[in-house]
Amino acid sequence: MFAVYVERPDRDDPLGALVLGDRPEPQVPDGWATVTVRAASVNHHDVWSLRGVGLKDQYLPMILGCDAAGLDEDGAEVIVHGVIASPGWSGDETLDPQRSLLSEKHPGTFAERVAVPRHNIVPKPSGLSFEAAACLPTAWLTAYRMLFTQVQLAEGDTVVVQGASGGMSTSLIMLARAAGYRVWVTSRDADSRERALQIGAHQAFESGERLPERVDAVMETIGRATWSHSVKSLRAGGTLVTSGATSGDLEVGELRHIFFRQLKIHGSTMGTRDELDALARFMADRGVEPLVDRILPMDQAADGIRAVKDGEVFGKIVLTRVP
């Protein structure tokens, strides 16, 4: 079958490590099922995989892709949950120390077909297109868990989203707005601030700018560049949720602010199968459509992955199956 994969990762030239071609059909162990991919979406994870980060030699060559929507073996429209728990694990998959994400140990979604445990197959609401549904399993699911599981906010509470343009930031802005929160965004770029307002932010500030008042919660995916501002922007007892470090790990932890104002800091990663199911229904019920930067046929995956690598996206990049 046609697939987009990495054979020899290259730390310095990730796009040079990308291969388009033929791969064997997925193996389907007991309890697993095959999904025919109709749409998949690109994540920063695919760039890391091409660089060899988090990908062991024994699993090469590896088909890329963590997210997909498609048809199950009975022709039902489904979404694929990309967190694969270890055999015998029960409960919250994101807490399984042996878990992996599709394309780390098991072939990913940039292919005609992908095999996953049956438990990982979630019904796709008819109100969501395949392209929209393919955006949900990584960025949107992570945003959903950050906003609704790791912190309890009430309608009208103020939440800051650090960064405006990436798949995570745009999904956080749109979900927080749909939930009735007051949404403030920061960005280095004037165009991105303007676009953040168009997709639901109430106010947009320059990165690092002093805010008019302290806020109830901050959503952090950037790390070193914004951490200090995130901590200083919280009201006493406020919550910082962190799920990424695009600009690198911390130099300054701001401990005095954290203990004196009794802040809560939650790490967050991906989400469970049931949260993906709840997210899909939330989107369909509220009429929220993921922001899609562009849709490309899967044989143009290099263009999509390059745009994510270079930060030249606003929203998600979706890959559709090659006819």
Ligand X SMILES: NC(=O)c1ccc[n+]([C@@H]2O[C@H](COP(=O)([O-])OP(=O)(O)OC[C@H]3O[C@@H](n4cnc5c(N)ncnc54)[C@H](OP(=O)(O)O)[C@@H]3O)[C@@H](O)[C@H]2O)c1
Which residues of the chain form contacts with ligand X (CB under 6 A)? Answer: 43-44, 138-139, 142, 163-169, 187-189, 192, 207, 221-222, 225-226, 243-247, 269-270, 311
Residue 268 DSSP code: -
Element (H, E) at 174: helix 167-178
34 or 283: whose CB is closer to ligand X?
283
For residue 260, the minimal CB distance to ligand X (Å) is 26
Q: What are phi and psi of 2, to 5 degrees?
A: -70, 140
64 or 270: whose CB is closer to ligand X?
270
Q: What angle, 0 to 180 degrees and rounded to 10, lies between the N-to-C axes of helices 141-148 and 167-178?
A: 50
For residue 308, the minimal CB distance to ligand X (Å) is 6
Closest C-alpha to 314, from 141, 207, 170 = 170
CA dist list (Å): 221 to 153, 282, 298: 19, 23, 27
For residue 36, the minimal CB distance to ligand X (Å) is 25
Residue 208 DSSP code: T
Element (H, E) at 4: strand 2-6
For residue 34, the minimal CB distance to ligand X (Å) is 25
109 or 165: whose CB is closer to ligand X?
165
Neighbours of 31 (CB within 10 A): 9
129 or 268: whose CB is closer to ligand X?
268
For residue 31, the minimal CB distance to ligand X (Å) is 25
For residue 259, the minimal CB distance to ligand X (Å) is 25
CB 67 within 8 A of CB 82: yes
103 or 243: whose CB is closer to ligand X?
243
129 or 221: whose CB is closer to ligand X?
221
